[in-house]
Amino acid sequence: MQLFYEPLATDTSFILNKEEAQHCLKVLRKKKGDQVTIIDGKGKYYLCVITDDNIKNCQLEVLNVETSTLPDRHIHIAISPTKNLDRTEWFVEKAIEIGVSEISFIVTQNSERRHIKLDRLLKKAVSAMKQSLKATLPVINDLVPISTFINEQKVDSTATHLIAYVDDANPLLIQNAITNSEKVLVLIGPEGDFTSEELELALTSGYQKVSLGKCRLRTETAGIVAITILNNV
Amino acid sequence: MQLFYEPLATDTSFILNKEEAQHCLKVLRKKKGDQVTIIDGKGKYYLCVITDDNIKNCQLEVLNVETSTLPDRHIHIAISPTKNLDRTEWFVEKAIEIGVSEISFIVTQNSERRHIKLDRLLKKAVSAMKQSLKATLPVINDLVPISTFINEQKVDSTATHLIAYVDDANPLLIQNAITNSEKVLVLIGPEGDFTSEELELALTSGYQKVSLGKCRLRTETAGIVAITILNNV
């Protein structure tokens, strides 16, 4: 199945944006009268019929609307961008495939990268959403310092706050820290990990220190392992 | 920590191969008298001192040998290679980071790729092993038809045999199929999944059909999700 993304879709009729119309009409050669499925990134699938197959004015009439089921758990990952941005893009793709509700980027003292290309990451995200047949685009937040992030998140007292940190002496596995929690936020550090000051700040702000298992993982792998475990326990 | 790979390492003294010696002596500028740690890919770490820092004859004397702990579970993934080989290389890297004992490649009817570059994949594997500070290189088996693979694996009756297959009506989650099994083999299909004949062959050969969750996953993501769950439940 092929999905097209139109964030401004409505329940009656709407125009498909030029980029998606190009793909739909030029590449896949859909014509007036053909049926297509549109997603709005907010959880809805629109089964439509093409009523005008002009690329600049691709009109769709809605035949049926379906709402996607909500995920069992709201998963929010705040992660340091990787030195090589490819790895961060890869993280975004896989995170969406496996299932994530929100991704935030944080700068920490050991972060080797201090800027991201949010546009590129959003494009990756849209493409992963379509490819994995999802109708909801996760919220993706631009890079902020970890202290700003922790301060902003303080207001959300309904979530379980976790920080992934290598502590060989006293590891609490992430799967044992989230008993039935419907909303989980996990901080994932850079190569070289969080500093002890950053860990301290998180702990005093109500975060719990968790382990993602015995193996040494790259940043982007740690993010994916956390999401996989949170979706499956 | 930086590890160097020498599959012919011994407990007393040995010569480091030229490729690793180049990295050790040229790039990292190690000299005679410096200490380095070597892995043999078979589970041993050798703490050594450099006794000759000639790249063509980099001699090492062993000071101490440590054996890595065995993984809790022997995980064997048999996976169809992806159309774009980058994704398969990525799978190998992440599989080793998260923890896998054996990777096999299988051609199925819907496989879009019918050859792999085993050399390249082995290089990726060695590099992932070193990066994640492991001393054991997983066995990586060349591509064979799925029927050949299933026939060969029949001899191993100590393993739990699973096939990942999308069955919305009656899904058995992988984490519920492996109760305490110390050895698990999972077949992962191509985009377009296994054919019903392939599924039938696996089922009649003693494989159990399992689900990796509700989300539609790419082949390489399915492999990583399986490995993550098997390492964490």
ipTM for the predicted complex comes to 0.91
Task: Yes or no: say if A161 and A206 are a contact pair by the CB < 8 Å rule.
Answer: yes
Output the pLDDT for position B118.
96
Q: With bands split at pLDDT 50, 70 and 90, how would you rate the model's confidence at A1?
A: confident
Using CA atoms, how far residue B91 sits from A22, A68, A167, B145, in Å, is 32, 29, 27, 20
Output the pLDDT for position A230.
95
Output the pLDDT for position A164.
96
Unique residue bearing structure tokens 């792999």:
B116
Q: CA nearest A233 in B: which residue?
A: B233
Contact A229 B225 (CB under 8 A): no
Average pLDDT over residues B97-113: 96
Selecting from 3.40.50.720, 2.40.240.20, 3.40.47.10, 3.20.20.140, what CATH number does the domain B3-67 have?
2.40.240.20
Query: Looking at the partner chain, which of B90, B97, B225 has a beta carbon nearest the beta carbon of A215?
Result: B97
Task: Yes or no: say if B187 and B147 are a contact pair by the CB < 8 Å rule.
Answer: no
Q: CA nearest A173 in B: which residue?
A: B232
A&B contacts, CB < 8 Å = 73
Partners of residue A99 in chain B, C-beta under 8 Å: 213-215
Give the tens place of pLDDT for each residue, A44-86.
Answer: 999 999 999 999 999 999 999 999 988 889 999 999 999 999 9
Contact B224 A229 (CB under 8 A): no
Smallest CA–CA separation between B224 and chain A, in Å? 9
Output the pLDDT for position B156.
75
Average pLDDT over residues B113-125: 95
Partners of residue B132 in chain A, C-beta under 8 Å: 215-218
Query: Is A233 at the interface with chain B, CB within 8 A?
Result: yes
Give the tens place of pLDDT for each residue, A157-215.
Answer: 789 999 999 877 778 999 999 988 899 999 999 999 999 999 999 999 999 999 998 88
Mutate which of A124, A215, A216 to disrupt the B interface (most B C-beta within 10 Å)? A215
Query: Looking at the partner chain, which of B98, B213, B215 has a beta carbon nearest the beta carbon of A221?
Result: B98
Partners of residue B173 in chain A, C-beta under 8 Å: 232
A61's CB contacts (< 8 A; 6+ apart) are A12, A13, A48, A49, A51
Common-topology check for domains B3-67 and B74-232:
no
What is the distance between the alpha carbons of residues A122 and A93, in angstroms, rounded to a whole number? Answer: 10
Output the pLDDT for position B72.
82
* Nearest in space to A94 (alpha carbons), one of A129, A119, A120: A129
Output the pLDDT for position A169.
79
Output the pLDDT for position A171.
87
Query: Looking at the partner chain, which of B133, B221, B231 has a beta carbon nearest the beta carbon of A94?
Result: B221
Tokens for A181, please give them. 């929690």
Query: Is B213 at the interface with chain A, CB within 8 A?
Result: yes
B180 CB burial (10 A radius; 0-12, 13-18, 19+): exposed
Query: Is A51 at the interface with chain B, CB within 8 A?
Result: no
Average pLDDT over residues A212-224: 94
Output the pLDDT for position A158.
85
Query: Is B177 at the interface with chain A, CB within 8 A?
Result: no
Give the tens place of pLDDT for each residue, B2-40.
Answer: 999 999 999 999 999 999 999 999 999 999 999 999 999
Q: With bands split at pLDDT 50, 70 and 90, how would you rate the model's confidence at B214?
A: confident
Q: Where would I find the H helices in B105-195? A: 118-131, 146-153
Average pLDDT over residues B98-114: 96
Q: What percent of chain B has pLDDT over 70?
A: 100
Partners of residue B221 in chain A, C-beta under 8 Å: 94, 97-98
So what CATH class is B74-232?
Answer: alpha beta
pLDDT of A225 > 90? The answer is yes
pLDDT of A101 > 90? The answer is yes
Give the tens place of pLDDT for each residue, B137-176.
Answer: 999 999 999 999 999 887 777 899 999 998 777 789 999 9
Give the tens place of pLDDT for each residue, A117-154.
Answer: 999 999 999 999 999 999 999 999 999 999 999 998 87
Partners of residue B172 in chain A, C-beta under 8 Å: none
Contact A97 B215 (CB under 8 A): yes
In one-letter notation, the amino acid at residue A15 is I
Output the pLDDT for position A170.
77
pLDDT of A21 > 90? The answer is yes
Q: What is the mean pLDDT of chain A?
A: 94
Partners of residue A173 in chain B, C-beta under 8 Å: 232
Query: Looking at the partner chain, which of B215, B221, B232 has a beta carbon nearest the beta carbon of A229?
Result: B232
Please report the beta strands in chain A, taking only residues with DSSP state E, as ranges in sequence order.
3-5, 13-16, 35-39, 44-54, 57-67, 74-79, 102-107, 139-145, 160-164, 183-188, 208-210
Partners of residue B217 in chain A, C-beta under 8 Å: 97-98, 132
Output the pLDDT for position A181.
85
Query: Looking at the partner chain, which of B131, B134, B231 has a beta carbon nearest the beta carbon of A213?
Result: B231
User: Where do the structural domains in chain A lie, given as residue ranges?
Assistant: 3-67, 74-232
